[in-house]
Structure 1
Amino acid sequence: MDNPMKNLGTPKDIFLESIRDCLGKTEGHPLDQRTNLMQSTDELKQLSSDLRINLNQHLDSLADDLSVSAVARGWNVHKPANVEGILEHISEIAKKWGVTDISRSDQEVFSEYVIDSGISDLGCNITTIAQNDSPEDRTRLREAIISSGIGITGADYAVAETGSIVILPRKGLSRLVSVVPAVHIALVRKRDILRSLDDVFLLRRLDYHQEHDMGSYLNFITGPSRTADIEQTIVIGVHGPKEVHMLLLD
């Protein structure tokens, strides 16, 4: 008699292995499934400090690892040397897509790399989606994002292991900048590169202990939007950007 359980779907180990393959994660030693949530704030501070010291000692190799994994996930990776290089890439992408409207998020990286006036000089309209936008501005800003052919964001973290960037929750409509336009450009500083997803969650646990605003989600972006139909045919750009660019900055 046939086993009635054999047709109940994909076995758990095969399913998880498939996810690891899709994320580009290599097989390692089994981990304790229980997350240590009882660490003290001081312990987390020490672990985070040790992590930062280690990461800062390997910035170049981490950037190389991120480049390789990001390209494998469908990112177009560029390494501009300065603001002029950033604007050159934006200009090329805008011309390729025939874009005149661009929106960007309001993140720290744009104070360090000032690009707004340069984008205007390219003949493009640039809209900043501020974190403290008022309800009255929401409709206008939403329409600006929808009309934008390019959305530009920073990255709170980038994960070398998976080729992902991480955008933390912010007030307002900033998340839409990375999701709605057909092209997403992410400015990634080397000092924001982490080795693995474990590093992300360590830093977020510390944020929680320090009573930071955690929001309700983490936005992981690993290449362009991919959607599979029932026949497992992959379609690009149905529920997000069709093309993504990662600009690695020193």
Structure 2
Amino acid sequence: MNGTIHNRDKFLNQIASRLNRPRISSKIQKPKWKYQPQHEVYKDATQDELLAVLEEHCKKIHTDIFTTDLQGLPAVVNDVVANCGGGPVVTWKDERFSEWGLDSVMKKEWPSQQIDVFEWDHTLGEENIDKAENANVGITISEITLAESGTVVLFSDKDKGRTVSFLPKASIMLIPKSTLVPRMTQAAVKMREVYQKTGHVASCINFITGPSNSADIELNLVVGVHGPIKATYIVVNDL
């Protein structure tokens, strides 16, 4: 829904007057920087090389990382959930789970083992948050993955609640290998491409680097302060 802007000119004119200069109304030209090192880091790296960078950085951010193909994905997900202590499990409502063959685990194997699995349902309102808060494991999918910092980028929408990634005790993030980019610079480019192509980008975009941790107090690292205690990345070879 489009809103109505009131008193914009008066407001901007007042700011300009306080700055003792006339208001600038012409379009500002984008500067051309002589040096742009942000585009050079891992510029020519292959996806395999970026994966190696990601794996090395996961050691520094206390994050387990596994790689698999689509055929082996269900078994890897099942093992990781078991190592995290089992359910309850909460997931996004995302067609890719079915496309990647995870229905056999999420909708058959786990229920048969009395492992509760809840799929985000925007029509249930606050119940989604309650389920995420009481879940042991949350499973999400990275849209863009920054190899340099070991960061996954999650796009929230009505079927992909942001609480799935930070309220459960453990977070499992599936990473399509095709989403690997060198760093934040390329992630910003990709998000702009999404907007140019679709006219829309998620209003809530989360950049998550491993499990929750903080070293604010006397530089002592504490994991799990305001989010999952354990994070696991599962890279899926979709190329």
After TM superposition, the score normalised by the length of structure 1 is 0.69
Structure 2: gaps spanning 5 or more residues: 1-27, 32-42
Tell me the alpha carbon deviations over residues 78-108 of structure 1, each in whole angstroms, 9 at most, x when there is no partner.
Answer: 112334x333333333333432210111335
Residues 35, 157 of structure 1: alpha-carbon distance in 2 compared, 3 angstrom cutoff: farther
Tell me the alpha carbon deviations over residues 212-246 of structure 1, each in whole angstroms, 9 at most, x when there is no partner.
Answer: 32343420111110123432222101211111111
Matched, 1:75 2:63: yes
In structure 2, what residue type is equivalent to 1:121? E
Tell whether the 8 Å contact from 2:120 to 2:161 is kept in structure 1 after alignment.
Answer: yes
Q: What secondary structure, in the 3-state scheme, does the structure 1 residue paired with 2:69 have?
A: coil
For residue 158 of structure 1, report the CA deviation from its aligned partner.
0.6
Q: How far apart are the structure 2 equivalents of 1:72 and 1:249? A: 21
Matched, 1:197 2:184: yes
Q: What secondary structure, in the 3-state scheme, does the structure 2 residue paired with 1:198 have?
A: helix
Residues 121, 210 of structure 1: alpha-carbon distance in 2 compared, 3 angstrom cutoff: closer
Tell whether the 8 Å contact from 1:71 to 1:163 is kept in structure 2 after alignment.
Answer: no
After TM superposition, the score normalised by the length of structure 2 is 0.72
Q: How far apart are the structure 2 equivalents of 1:70 and 1:113? A: 24
For residue 211 of structure 1, report the CA deviation from its aligned partner.
5.6
Could you tell me the percent identity over the aligned residues? 24
Q: What secondary structure, in the 3-state scheme, does the structure 2 residue paired with 1:79 have?
A: strand
Q: How far apart are the structure 2 equivalents of 1:249 and 1:239? A: 28
Q: Which residue of 1 aligns with 2:4?
A: none
Tell whether the 8 Å contact from 1:142 to 1:173 is kept in structure 2 after alignment.
Answer: no
Q: Which residue of 2 aligns with 1:105?
A: 92
1:245 to 226, 229, 232: 232
Matched, 1:148 2:139: no
For residue 68 of structure 1, report the CA deviation from its aligned partner.
1.5
Q: Which residue of 1 aligns with 2:165?
A: 178
| Alignment root-mean-square deviation, CA | 2.7
Q: How far apart are the structure 1 equivalents of 2:29 and 2:66? A: 36
Tell whether the 8 Å contact from 1:225 to 1:239 is kept in structure 2 after alignment.
Answer: yes
Alignment of 1:19-34 (within 5 A): none
Q: Which residue of 2 aligns with 1:61?
A: 49
In structure 2, what residue type is equivalent to 1:239? H
Q: Which residue of 1 aligns with 2:154?
A: 167
Tell whether the 8 Å contact from 1:158 to 1:188 is kept in structure 2 after alignment.
Answer: yes
In structure 2, what residue type is equivalent to 1:78? F
Instruction: Decide which moves more: 67-76 or 208-217.
Output: 208-217
For residue 174 of structure 1, report the CA deviation from its aligned partner.
1.6
Residues 224, 118 of structure 1: alpha-carbon distance in 2 compared, 3 angstrom cutoff: same
Q: Which residue of 2 aligns with 1:129?
A: 120
Tell whether the 8 Å contact from 1:138 to 1:173 is kept in structure 2 after alignment.
Answer: no
Residues 97, 70 of structure 1: alpha-carbon distance in 2 compared, 3 angstrom cutoff: closer
In structure 2, what residue type is equivalent to 1:67? E
Residues 159, 86 of structure 1: alpha-carbon distance in 2 compared, 3 angstrom cutoff: same
In structure 2, what residue type is equivalent to 1:174? G
2:104 to 91, 102, 117: 117
For residue 196 of structure 1, report the CA deviation from its aligned partner.
1.5
Q: What secondary structure, in the 3-state scheme, does the structure 2 residue paired with 1:66 have?
A: helix
Residues 71, 212 of structure 1: alpha-carbon distance in 2 compared, 3 angstrom cutoff: farther
Residues 98, 111 of structure 1: alpha-carbon distance in 2 compared, 3 angstrom cutoff: closer
In structure 2, what residue type is equivalent to 1:89? V
Tell me the alpha carbon deviations over residues 41-64 of structure 1, each in whole angstroms, 9 at most, x when there is no partner.
Answer: xxxxxxxxxxxxx88x82222222
For residue 35 of structure 1, report the CA deviation from its aligned partner.
11
